[in-house]
A = this chain, B = another copy of it.
Amino acid sequence: MASLKFELHKEDNQSKARAGKITTDHGEILTPIFMPVGTVGSVKAVNQQQLKNDIKAQIILGNTYHLYLRPGTDVLEAAGGLHKFNGWDRPILTDSGGYQVFSLAGTRKIKEEGVTFQSHIDGSRHLFSPEKVMDIERSIGADIIMAFDECTPFGSDYNYTRKSMEMTHRWLDRCIKRLDETDNMYGYTQNLFPIVQGSVFPDLRKASCEYIASKNAVGNAIGGLSVGEPEDKLYEFTGLCCEYLPQDKPRYLMGVGTPWNILEGIALGVDMFDCVMPTRNGRNGMLFTTEGVINIKNKKWEKDFTPIDSGFECETSNYYTKAYLRHLVHSQEILALELASIHNLAFYLWLVGQAREHIIAGDFTSWKNEMVVKLKTRL
């Protein structure tokens, strides 16, 4: 049982893109990688066999906030951790709950000690402190666990952002201390990733990166982006963070994004991504395909008996037709949610796999530039 390792296989000449491999106690992850979001221990509308066989997911996310509220740490501990509970035996990453506490929970109060908030399920009051969150992430038992941070809202002023960032740094130290004082619960190693904040202020981002880098963690994350800022800011600050974060550690850009966001992120030096977009938008009938974006509800697809997408290998995307999926969406069939989610996730995993192949082949940048145009096309 060993700490997470990261191996660089190839770096692109014309961009900051890199291909690598992360090794955890639950197996390997080839990077760049996209991580499907399994909020309560289930990637919405998708089962674990489909995640492996159709989507080819290598790692999934769990949300600490949700798992803490339901099923709760006592159930997760009784099961022997989330891997045993949901039957996913490949790597898992858990966020710290910080983002959900700010975006989902009822009246919350942020103090130096931590955040008090109300459950969105039953209104009950809870405290998330760095120590408490580390304990919860221990109980969940993910391979990669995120530090507790405040995700500064876009539009926060300089002063608020600086103070928030400094508290996030102090919280990080408390997370590290707590982990040092506690043991892995299930016999395998859990690895802490700290999170860079600083919103859209270059000097704060730089300071945050330097602070985070000084902790010498096995991997690092960029938080506080994809929270409403314009796309050029997303790219500008992703690039800035990648410049200051260690070269030899995986970089995780949290909550990003569209297929083209992901390709641009890879070009800027990001190795890991997660986002609810493929599942959430899929459930609303928006499909990302090798030819561009499809609104499957449109009349245009009513008699289109071609596969959802034949541009890559996926049983769901290759087997079911656009006309059938459109019909299922219009009939509000549950199967529509399943097929659209599987397709979109399989497409995301295919896309990052292609990026990796092109990095290794040495033609990533030209491929990426062509692909971004194609991906944005509205069909």
Which residues on A are within 8 Å of B, measured CB to CB? Answer: 40-42, 44-49, 66, 70-71, 75, 78-79, 84-87, 302-303, 305, 315-316, 319-321, 323-324, 327-328, 330-331, 333-335, 337-339
Contact = CB atoms under 8 A, between A and B. Distances in A.
- A46, A84, A327, A337: which has the most chain B beta carbons within 10 Å? A327
B78 A305 contact: yes
Listed from nearest, the 9 A-B pairs whose CB atoms lie closest are A45-B334, A71-B327, A42-B335, A40-B331, A78-B303, A42-B333, A70-B331, A334-B337, A79-B305
15 contacts: A40-B331, A44-B333, A44-B335, A48-B319, A66-B331, A70-B331, A71-B327, A71-B330, A78-B305, A85-B321, A85-B324, A85-B327, A334-B334, A334-B337, A338-B338
Contacts of A305: 78-79, 84-85
A80 to B, nearest CB: 8
A78 B302 CA distance: 10
How many copies of this chain are found per oligomer?
A: 2
A146 to B, nearest CB: 21
A38 B305 CA distance: 20
A327 B45 contact: no
Given A49-B315, A335-B46, A75 B40 contact: no
B327 A334 contact: no
Nearest to A66: B331
Contacts of A330: 70-71
Given A79-B305, A86-B324, 9 more contacts: A40-B331, A42-B328, A44-B334, A45-B335, A47-B338, A71-B323, A71-B330, A85-B305, A338-B338
Contact of A338 (B40, B45, B321): B45
Contacts of A40: 327-328, 331, 333
A323 B85 contact: yes
A3 to B, nearest CB: 29
Contact of A327 (B41, B46, B339): B41
Contact of A334 (B48, B71, B85, B338): B338
A79 B324 CA distance: 9
A41 B303 CA distance: 15
Contacts of A319: 48-49, 87
A356 B5 CA distance: 55
Contacts of A86: 324
Contacts of A321: 79, 85, 87
A356 B359 CA distance: 57
Contact of A323 (B75, B316, B324, B337): B75
